[in-house]
């Protein structure tokens, strides 16, 4: 796990290139605290910040082929590098290191741009083909590792985070209104867009090639795909139990591969099905105790520590619990936004950032997590909600069908399904769009999009001309409406919330803030491809989510965990920024009317009313909380507010 940066073009004389690269890569020191490396050639520069996980002694980057014609800098891990190296050696390739990085240069020399199709991993890669004077950038299939780029002054720039680009291109550090519109609707911009003007993200599963003659080509080498509804069946499996057995074997293999490291590997343990399954499989793969970490909350509404402790005892893990309160979240929020470099609508990423710090202090550079299981196996309430709404739409006048919604969101103190009349009105939104692939997501997006009402008048007018449904549908596969409804919902979820928010602001950025690499066995691409072939009814059985995953993990976990319903990970939101009705100092500063006007982004009057409501503790609904957190995080970015570094001793309570 590392950071990378570089350029293609002639931005500075060759003698000043290293200093420029150093400015860029120094902004990514948190991603790679174990050392920097550089390669400069005429018109090209590569820089690398290393977090040593595989082959600490000889795996330095940039790394080149034996003939020095191919160079690479690389962020992430290639989990099948041992098998790839053996195959390449059998074909005559000679290796000088034991690192996973070296397989990249050899694969590129043998297969060209198709090298990426051989990789099982999570990665962002830059390859410099010195012989052909071409640069190739590639990003992993699911979008786990980030890669940004921009053009300026006739040159092409790239880096693991926008801050690396801003070190060379400070004028690019300007917020893009359309990026804000998308964030305040989908929770994140849609790749390749970002919230920064003229800064782009390489989309997941894509390869970008820049040729010596100036030509540029973008190629998608992988995407989520599902069988057409009419042909989807149980082909290949006798029954669900047969498929569950194969799923268990594939999960075990994914965990086994992702345990590969030359440093200690830990795991997050939430107390739910997904993370517990990963820890159980890790224990089975290693035969040793697993080092586990959990977040506990002072507020009982969010706390799952009883389940976490029970699972730790059942799996006999060496466990540490980090106890987090609302004040801790508020204090750490500016540091979170400095690392996400994009607005967020929830505070849930803050405790995960603090937990990564705990893992690192306890000697773990790598942690396995349960992220991805909900997207891959139909775990979210949104999927069940859409199933009920489609059932209801067949008889829109029915009073009984919408009552099924009462079976959802029981874990929420202010559940949208608690009041039947409100539930019918809320979940009835967008019924006229039942024939569109984004149907399932409309209630969520309508809630978050209420934040658009707080924009400054000129931006609010521009937002009215922006069509969020047409914008996202323009990038969906032509075949999507021939897929089963659940498959459509999964695809849209993967393209929006998972890639844009969960794997970035709540994944890569928060772990790397503490120089920790998160790994996601449920997002092994071969496992995703397997799961996508499964019949939808094996994922959601009635209104029971992740049905086949529960079967696959039977015998590894206790019955109460296997039967436990989904309780999404959440944290206190607007209440984190006030103590006894008094705002934290930076919060008061950001919402000061003069600062609001100076930002040019928000209506001071409307935003002031929301601020007063949150201060009085009356911002209890999703819409108000998401708007408040989104506005605060945007203001921190706009004002470039300094973020305090994490102290060596965080002061948070940890218990074994």
Q: Report CA dihedral (589, 591, 593, 598) to the nearest 10 degrees.
A: 80
- Cα four-point dihedral sign 103, 108, 111, 117: positive
Model pLDDT for residues 333-343, shown as the tens digit of each residue: 999 999 999 99
Q: Is 207 helix (H, G, I), strand (E, B) or coil?
A: strand
Give the span between the Cα atoms of 565 and 183, in whole angstroms: 29
* Predicted local distance difference test score (pLDDT) of residue 644: 44
Where in the chain are all domains bearing CATH 3.60.20.10?
A: 2-175+195-220
* Predicted local distance difference test score (pLDDT) of residue 182: 97
Give the span between the Cα atoms of 612 and 51, in whole angstroms: 44
* Predicted local distance difference test score (pLDDT) of residue 417: 64
Model pLDDT for residues 296-321, shown as the tens digit of each residue: 998 888 889 998 999 999 999 999 99
Structure letter (DSSP) for residue 203: P
Across-strand partners of 7?
Answer: 45, 157
Mean pLDDT, residues 96-106: 95
* Predicted local distance difference test score (pLDDT) of residue 16: 86
E-strand stretches of 306-395: 318-324, 366-368
* Predicted local distance difference test score (pLDDT) of residue 643: 47
* Contact (CB, 8 A) for 311 and 564: no
E-strand stretches of 145-303: 148-152, 155-159, 200-201, 206-210, 216-220, 265-268, 291-297
Long-range CB pairs of 324-327, under 8 A, 24+ apart, other chains included = 324/295, 324/296, 324/297, 324/298, 324/350, 324/351, 324/354, 324/571, 324/652, 325/297, 325/298, 325/299, 326/298, 326/299, 326/572, 326/575, 326/576, 327/576, 327/579
Query: Starting at the edge strand that comes first in sequence, how are the strands of the sheet with 148-152 ordered?
Result: 36-41, 44-50, 2-8, 155-159, 148-152, 200-201
Which H or E run contains 278? helix 273-286
Helices 273-286 and 305-315 pack at an angle, to 10 degrees, of 20
Model pLDDT for residues 353-387, shown as the tens digit of each residue: 999 999 999 999 999 999 999 999 999 999 999 99
Mean pLDDT, residues 131-141: 97
* Contact (CB, 8 A) for 322 and 285: no
Structure letter (DSSP) for residue 495: I
Least confident range from 428-432, 550-554, 596-600, 630-634: namely 428-432
* Contact (CB, 8 A) for 74 and 116: no
Model pLDDT for residues 435-472, shown as the tens digit of each residue: 999 999 999 999 999 999 999 999 999 999 999 999 99
How sure is the predictor about 48, in pLDDT bands with cuts at 50, 70 and 90? Answer: very high
Where in the chain are all domains bearing CATH 3.40.50.620?
A: 240-376+496-563
Domain 240-376+496-563 has CATH 3.40.50.620: yes
The topology (CATH level 3) of 2-175+195-220 is 3.60.20
Model pLDDT for residues 215-267, shown as the tens digit of each residue: 999 999 999 999 998 666 666 888 999 999 999 999 999 999 999 999 999 99
Token pair 């880096």: residue: 159
């Amino acid at each position: 796990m590392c950071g990378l940066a570089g350029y293609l073009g002639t931005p500075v004389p060759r003698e000043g290139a290293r200093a420029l690269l150093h400015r860029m890569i120094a902004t990514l020191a948190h991603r790679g605290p174990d050392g920097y490396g550089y390669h400069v050639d005429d018109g090209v520069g590569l820089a690398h910040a290393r977090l040593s996980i595989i082959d600490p002694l000889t795996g330095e980057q940039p790394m080149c082929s034996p003939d020095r014609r191919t160079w690479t800098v690389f962020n992430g891990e290639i989990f099948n590098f041992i098998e790839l190296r053996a195959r390449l050696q059998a074909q005559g390739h000679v290796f000088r290191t034991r690192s996973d990085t070296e397989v990249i240069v050899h694969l590129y020399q043998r297969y060209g741009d198709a090298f990426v199709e051989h990789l099982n991993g999570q990665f962002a890669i830059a390859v410099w083909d010195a012989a052909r004077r071409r640069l190739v950038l590639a990003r992993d299939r699911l979008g786990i590792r980030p890669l940004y780029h921009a053009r300026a002054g006739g040159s092409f720039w790239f880096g693991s985070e926008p801050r690396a680009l801003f070190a060379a291109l400070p004028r690019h550090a300007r917020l893009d209104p359309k990026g804000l519109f998308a964030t305040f609707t989908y929770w994140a911009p849609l790749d390749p867009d970002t919230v920064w003007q003229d800064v782009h993200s390489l989309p997941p599963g894509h390869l970008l090639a820049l040729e010596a003659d100036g030509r540029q080509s973008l190629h998608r080498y992988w995407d989520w795909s599902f069988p057409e509804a009419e042909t989807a069946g149980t082909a290949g499996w006798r029954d669900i139990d047969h498929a569950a057995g194969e799923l268990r074997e594939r999960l075990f293999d994914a965990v086994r591969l992702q345990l590969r490291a030359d440093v200690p590997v830990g795991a997050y343990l939430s107390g739910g099905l997904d993370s517990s399954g990963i820890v159980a499989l890790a224990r089975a793969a290693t035969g040793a105790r697993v080092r586990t970490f959990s977040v506990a909350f002072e507020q009982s509404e969010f706390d799952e520590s009883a389940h976490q402790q029970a699972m730790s005892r059942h799996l006999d893990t060496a466990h540490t619990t980090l106890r987090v309160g609302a004040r801790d979240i508020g204090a750490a929020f500016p540091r979170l936004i400095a690392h996400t470099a994009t607005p967020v609508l929830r505070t849930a990423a803050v405790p995960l950032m603090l937990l990564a710090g705990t893992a690192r202090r306890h000697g773990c550079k790598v942690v396995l997590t349960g992220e991805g299981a909900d997207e891959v196996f139909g775990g979210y309430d949104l999927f069940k909600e859409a199933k009920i709404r489609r059932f209801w739409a067949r008889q829109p006048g029915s009073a009984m069908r919408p009552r099924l919604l009462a079976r959802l969101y029981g874990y929420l103190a202010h559940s949208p399904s608690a009041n039947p009349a409100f539930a019918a009105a809320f979940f009835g939104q967008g019924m006229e769009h039942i024939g569109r692939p984004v149907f399932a997501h409309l209630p969520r997006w309508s809630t978050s999009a209420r934040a658009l009402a707080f924009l400054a008048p000129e931006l609010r007018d521009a937002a009215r001309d922006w069509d969020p449904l047409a914008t996202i549908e323009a990038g969906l596969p032509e075949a999507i409406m021939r897929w089963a409804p659940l498959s459509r919902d999964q695809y849209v979820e993967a393209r929006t919330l998972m890639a844009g928010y969960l794997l970035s602001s709540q994944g890569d950025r928060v772990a790397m803030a503490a120089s920790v690499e998160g790994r996601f066995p449920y997002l092994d691409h071969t496992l995703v491809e397997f799961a996508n072939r499964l019949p939808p009814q094996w994922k959601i059985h009635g209104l029971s989510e992740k049905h086949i995953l529960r079967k696959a993990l039977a015998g590894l976990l206790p019955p109460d965990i296997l039967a436990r319903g989904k309780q999404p990970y959440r944290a206190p939101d607007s209440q984190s920024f006030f103590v006894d009705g008094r705002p934290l100092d930076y919060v008061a500063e950001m919402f000061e009317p003069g600062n609001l006007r100076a930002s040019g982004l928000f209506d001071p009057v409307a935003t002031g009313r929301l601020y007063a409501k949150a201060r009085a503790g009356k911002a209890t609904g999703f819409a108000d909380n998401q708007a408040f957190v989104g506005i605060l995080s945007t203001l921190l970015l706009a004002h470039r507010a300094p973020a305090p570094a994490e102290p060596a001793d965080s002061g948070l309570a940890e218990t074994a």
